[in-house]
């Protein structure tokens, strides 16, 4: 069994599968929004809270997944969370009321983040430099299929069996993932390197991370970048059904171009690993992001929402966002090498918390028309670039010599924690 656990060819698809739980939890039941609104007799704004509740729970628990894995190991935390996620899916599938559905969504949110957070720590535990970025990019590339497949699967399950079977299907996928993890998931954080869990120690660690201006700048850069894409994802029911006038089985028209762009960006990131500096990689990414968001603005102001012109700028933006993300993530994790699990938790909590605000507050305000959506995406990307520009001014000595995915010179020594 150890031979299989040490095989990176198995590690990448397994970690990608664990990371898929997040987008599956968000995207799979988008086609069922109108059917669920009718069954529970609620409006579209209330239905948006099924995303916000999930993401708030996800964000809050993200602050614990990493530290728990630093104390108890990566493998145990992931396995326990998978069991809890199975229970959350079952609760959603059997929910008799809307409030019961929200409770099930909260359970899903509490458990869904362990795989991606601990998975990032596993990559950094075992690999360094370009090898770490290559594996991170492989995981992103495989994982990128999830948001595209999820609403397609959800639409067809809704068509043949009803919305409750969407959650039963997610349950079945998680059980298969649990069995695979029991067989092949490695433990990369040995007992000798673990840190005892204590509330005081956790608060000191989080104060150190939250007080690190460069970490926060990198975190907000990544969050704002992805926010330009997530506003379309959170608004997918309105975009697909209202703006583009498609049906519940045609969500692929939005998600396949978007996720294809992200997968292309992840592949480019892997190609640039060890060849381009962090500065150069992110610079290329922002050129693509600027092209995509500007094209989206032009399309929204000059044309009626229609295929394929509406989705092509989103795909281009996705290439840029996904190209920058592995580099930004590794730079953040290397700020705190002694507690990478906690650092990954803060990064995830920041990103998901921001997305929860987008889903619950921004999306209902801008999803009624193409122009507000495009303007919000442009503004979010501009904020991300501003954060990156400030980081570059604070870290001019680190970026020219740091190859993509190898930010050792930017790391905070363990003694400073």
CATH number of the structural domain spanning residue 276: 1.20.1250.20
Candidates 226, 245, 257; CA nearest to 356 is: 226
pLDDT at 401: 37
CB atoms within 10 A of CB 157: 22
Pair 179, 83: CB distance under 8 Å: no
Per DSSP (E only), the strands in 310-362 are none
Beta carbons within 8 Å of 262's beta carbon, 6+ residues apart: 140, 144, 147, 229, 318, 319, 321, 322
Mean pLDDT of the chain: 82
Pair 50, 97: CB distance under 8 Å: no
Asked if residue 137 belongs to a domain, the reply is yes
pLDDT at 386: 95
Asked if residue 413 belongs to a domain, the reply is no
Alpha-carbon distance 23 to 54, whole Å? 11
pLDDT at 141: 64
Sign of CA dihedral 366, 370, 371, 376: positive
Alpha carbon of 352 to those of 46, 226, 247, 348: distances in Å? 20, 10, 28, 6
Asked if residue 417 belongs to a domain, the reply is no
Asked if residue 34 belongs to a domain, the reply is yes
Number of domains in the chain: 1
pLDDT at 286: 92
Expressed in angstroms, the distance from the first to the final Cα of the chain is 36
Asked whether the predicted pLDDT for residue 400 surpasses 70, the reply is no
Packing angle between helix 44-72 and helix 8-27, nearest 10 degrees? 150
Asked whether the predicted pLDDT for residue 6 surpasses 60, the reply is no
- Residue 195's φ and ψ, nearest 5 degrees, are -105, 135
The listed range with the strongest mean pLDDT (26-30, 37-41, 203-207, 351-355) is 37-41
pLDDT at 1: 37
Structural domain for 299, as ranges: 2-183+196-407
The listed range with the strongest mean pLDDT (10-14, 102-106, 194-198, 240-244) is 102-106
Asked whether the predicted pLDDT for residue 417 surpasses 50, the reply is no
pLDDT digits (tens, 9 = 90+) for 121-177: 787 777 766 776 677 666 766 666 677 778 888 888 998 999 999 999 999 999 998
pLDDT at 404: 38
Asked if residue 412 belongs to a domain, the reply is no
Alpha-carbon distance 139 to 133, whole Å? 10
């Amino acid at each position: 069994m150890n031979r299989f656990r040490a095989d990176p060819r198995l590690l990448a698809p397994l970690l990608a599968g664990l990371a898929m739980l997040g987008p599956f939890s968000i995207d799979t039941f988008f086609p069922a929004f109108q059917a669920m609104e009718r069954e529970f007799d609620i409006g579209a704004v209330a239905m948006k809270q099924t995303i916000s509740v999930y993401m708030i729970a996800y964000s809050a628990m993200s602050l614990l997944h990493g530290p728990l894995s630093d104390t108890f190991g990566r493998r145990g935390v992931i396995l326990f969370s998978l069991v809890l996620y199975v229970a959350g899916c079952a609760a959603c599938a059997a929910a008799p009321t809307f409030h019961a559905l929200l409770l099930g969504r909260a359970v899903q949110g509490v458990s869904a983040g362990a795989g991606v957070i601990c998975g990032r720590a596993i990559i950094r535990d075992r690999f360094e430099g370009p090898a770490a970025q290559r594996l991170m990019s492989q995981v992103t590339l495989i994982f990128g299929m999830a948001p595209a497949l999820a609403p397609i699967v959800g639409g067809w399950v809704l068509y043949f069996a009803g919305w409750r079977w969407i959650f039963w299907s997610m349950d079945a996928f998680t059980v298969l993932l649990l069995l695979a993890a029991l067989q092949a998931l490695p433990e990369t954080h040995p007992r000798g390197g673990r840190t005892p869990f204590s509330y005081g120690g956790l608060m000191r660690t989080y104060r150190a991370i939250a007080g690190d201006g460069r970490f926060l700048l990198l975190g907000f850069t990544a969050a704002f970048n992805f926010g330009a894409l997530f506003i379309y994802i959170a608004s997918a029911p309105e975009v697909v059904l209202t703006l583009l006038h498609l049906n519940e089985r045609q969500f692929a028209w939005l998600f396949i171009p978007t996720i294809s762009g992200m997968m292309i960006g992840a592949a480019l990131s892997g190609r640039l690993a060890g060849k381009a500096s962090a500065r150069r990689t992110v610079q290329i990414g922002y050129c693509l992001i600027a092209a995509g968001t500007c094209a989206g603005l032009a399309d929204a102001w000059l044309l009626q929402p229609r295929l394929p012109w509406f989705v092509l700028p989103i795909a281009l933006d996705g290439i840029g966002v996904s190209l920058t993300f592995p580099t930004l993530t590794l730079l953040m994790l290397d700020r705190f090498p002694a507690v990478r699990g906690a650092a990954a938790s803060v990064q995830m909590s920041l990103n998901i918390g921001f997305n929860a605000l987008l889903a619950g507050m921004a999306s209902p305000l801008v999803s009624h028309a193409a122009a507000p959506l495009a303007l919000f995406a442009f503004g979010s990307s501009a904020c991300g670039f501003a954060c990156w520009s400030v980081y570059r001014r604070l870290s001019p000595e680190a970026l020219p010599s740091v190859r993509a995915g190898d930010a050792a010179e930017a790391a905070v020594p363990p003694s400073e924690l």
